[in-house]
Amino acid sequence: MQNSNKYDAIVIGAGMSGGWSAKELCERGLKTLLVERGRDVKHIKDYPTTNLKPWEFEYRGEISRAEKEANPSIARCYAYREDNKHFFVKDMEHPYIQDEEFDWIRGYQVGGKSLMWARQTQRWSDFDFEGPLRDGFAVDWPIRYKDLAPWYSYVEKFAGISGNKDGLDTLPDGEFLPALDLNCVEKHFQSSLKRNYSDRHLIYGRCAHITEQREIFRQQGRGLCLNRTECERGCPFGGYFNANSTTIPWAAKTGNLTLRPNAILLSIIYSDKENKAIGVRVIDSESKEITEYFAKLIFLNAGALNTLLIMLNSTSERFPNGIGNDNGALGKYVAFHNYRSRINAICEDFGDRKSVGKRPTSGYIPRFRNVYRQETGFLRGYAAGFSAARYSQRTKDGIGQELKEHLFAPSELGPWVVNSHMMGETVPKATNRVYLDPQKTDEWGMPLLHISVKYDDNDERMIRDFQDQFTDMFEKAGFVDIKVSDDHRAPGLDIHEMGGARMGNDPNTSILNRWHQVHSCKNIIVTDGACMTSTSTQNPSLTYMAMAARAANHAVDELEKGAIL
């Protein structure tokens, strides 16, 4: 064992949760190796399109037909555009096997998908943590809101979260910077909900944007959000949270961080003699050279499905079916968010008003179905986004001079268009799973991952309820020309895959304990989406951040006491 390859801790994955794990470990004094399978991306330096104008793009921001045809999965992703395509994993470069149709959206680089995320940051409540215990699907969460609440506050203060104190028991308040505002039509709908319902609320979506300068952000070298809404290119001001501008540089400042990009994690090394994990085996993505690194603590933050791939591929005499997989549950009970349905309509009022400028996010309607009791024919519930806008009406008919005249003619604003989309919770099932192909591998020798994840009848009933309830809500608000749709998208485009190494109290039915440690190998800690017991309806990234900070600090406490050897 070479001393140069020995560390106190190894973090696998330099994205949203991996950045937090590395920050906490380094601040606590641990020499930490941060392993990332993709290239390095330095804040500002490696944002090549961040300040380009629309006319400087060959396809004016769109993806060419040839690229769409070559990458059908990522081409279906709302965020994949000409200005940020370099941050997305191309379909054919990193293949996987779809037993059921699944669009796996990935970002293999330092920063991971924290460069391209939608930046929505809502806390969970006890209604979310208690859901599985109440309805009997999945297993009981080993933690509750009180366990995570101080860590939510901890990461919110550091990351910068804007929002209002809304006073909702379904969506706990946090440590907020000033929120942006709803426009007049959104406020009209907000008032309509208050007038017609006691349990339905429209709030301004809480988001990871700096709207007021604080000393902690100055120390990070970050500035205010300027509402450019070019976030997925990488923000040169650091106005929104990503690992590249925030947690990873902070960890590096301690002098305890070693960053190893272009290093694909093949497996975790388990010592049958020592009865613990002792290190990791990586392959250089460019030279194909294999290197082993060793540490007392190993944190898995590779992204839910990649974490499962690594765990399943980490076999030994003690763990022939994947590390920690004594009960056969590893890779099972994968869940996701159901984004299939939308509703839009016209608001004929407020014709004398228009909105000016941009916002990084919009309205949010927290879950209101099956919260206090089971009241529908489906389990769990859904949240929803909501926004309203007016658009220019300008004809593009004609060719040549006629077309020019139309394009340069004064434009008029059309009516207010309102729309909403669902964010439904799916119920984890053993049949929704991932597993390794016994023969097929990628070019680095990793087994290809089979993904067998699909919707069920519960999801279909939830979609119909969303459409019925929001039609009623839109009608009560006076909206007209109401249209509902179901795009029948495959799972994966929500980009919120969760589970597969779920937390729980019982080692017979779960993989991780309440501190995110593998039950049967406690120096392995998992705090990305793979750890999730259920999905709730909120965007999950804030919860991953809080979990990572909590688990890392607990692991160091245990290490200092000698409880983790």
CATH number for the domain that contains residue 418:
3.30.410
Does residue 116 share a domain with residue 20? Answer: yes
Nearest to 298 by CA among 324, 272, 320, 321: 324
pLDDT > 90 fraction of the chain, expressed in percent and rounded? 93
pLDDT grade, residue 252 (50/70/90)?
A: very high
Does residue 460 share a domain with residue 450? Answer: no
Kindly state the average pLDDT of the residues 367-384: 96
pLDDT > 70 fraction of the chain, expressed in percent and rounded? 99
Tell whether 229 is covered by a domain: no
Instruction: Dump pLDDT digits (tens) for 298-357.
Output: 999 999 999 999 999 999 999 999 999 999 999 999 999 999 999 999 999 999 999 988
Kindly state the average pLDDT of the residues 414-422: 97
Determine phi and psi for 463, rounding to 5 degrees.
-60, -45
Does residue 34 share a domain with residue 5? Answer: yes
Tell whether 228 is covered by a domain: no
Instruction: Dump pLDDT digits (tens) for 62-85.
Output: 999 999 999 999 999 999 999 999
Does residue 556 share a domain with residue 467? Answer: no
Does residue 103 share a domain with residue 44? Answer: yes
Q: How far is CA 386 from CA 186, 237, 323, in A?
A: 8, 27, 43
Report whether 251 contacts 34 (CB < 8 A).
yes
Instruction: Dump pLDDT digits (tens) for 503-527.
Output: 999 999 999 999 999 999 999 999 9
Mean confidence (pLDDT) of the chain:
96
Tell whether 222 is covered by a domain: no
Tell whether 226 is covered by a domain: no
Does residue 392 share a domain with residue 527? Answer: no
Q: What is the CATH number of the domain that holds 511?
A: 3.50.50.60
Counting the structural domains of the chain, the total is 2
What integer pLDDT is reported at residue 137 of this predicted model? 87
Tell whether 231 is covered by a domain: no
Q: Is the pLDDT of residue 421 over 90?
A: yes
Instruction: Dump pLDDT digits (tens) for 98-157.
Output: 999 999 999 999 999 999 999 999 999 999 999 999 988 889 999 999 999 999 999 999
Does residue 173 share a domain with residue 152? Answer: no
What integer pLDDT is reported at residue 412 of this predicted model? 83
Nearest to 303 by CA among 18, 86, 523: 18
What integer pLDDT is reported at residue 411 of this predicted model? 76
Report whether 434 contacts 451 (CB < 8 A).
yes
Does residue 476 share a domain with residue 411? Answer: yes
What integer pLDDT is reported at residue 565 of this predicted model? 61
Q: Is the pLDDT of residue 402 over 90?
A: no
What integer pLDDT is reported at residue 3 of this predicted model? 65
Which residue range(s) make up the domain with 200?
168-205+339-425+456-490
Tokens 């000409």 -> residue: 82
CA–CA separation, 41 and 24 (whole Å): 21
List the structure tokens of 93: 């470069």
Does residue 508 share a domain with residue 416? Answer: no
Does residue 137 share a domain with residue 38? Answer: yes
Tell whether 508 is covered by a domain: yes
Q: What is the DSSP letter of 116?
A: T
Tell whether 210 is covered by a domain: no
Tell whether 505 is covered by a domain: yes
Does residue 188 share a domain with residue 70? Answer: no
Q: Is the pLDDT of residue 268 over 70?
A: yes
CA–CA separation, 244 and 112 (whole Å): 9
List the structure tokens of 207: 């988001």
Does residue 136 share a domain with residue 11? Answer: yes
| Residue 136: burial class (beta carbons within 10 Å; 0-12, 13-18, 19+) | exposed
* SS3 at position 421: strand
Instruction: Dump pLDDT digits (tens) for 185-239.
Output: 999 999 999 999 999 999 999 999 999 999 999 999 999 999 999 999 999 999 9
Q: Among 466, 490, 514, which residue terminates a domain?
A: 490
Nearest to 450 by CA among 427, 428, 433: 433
Nearest to 275 by CA among 7, 558, 525, 522: 522
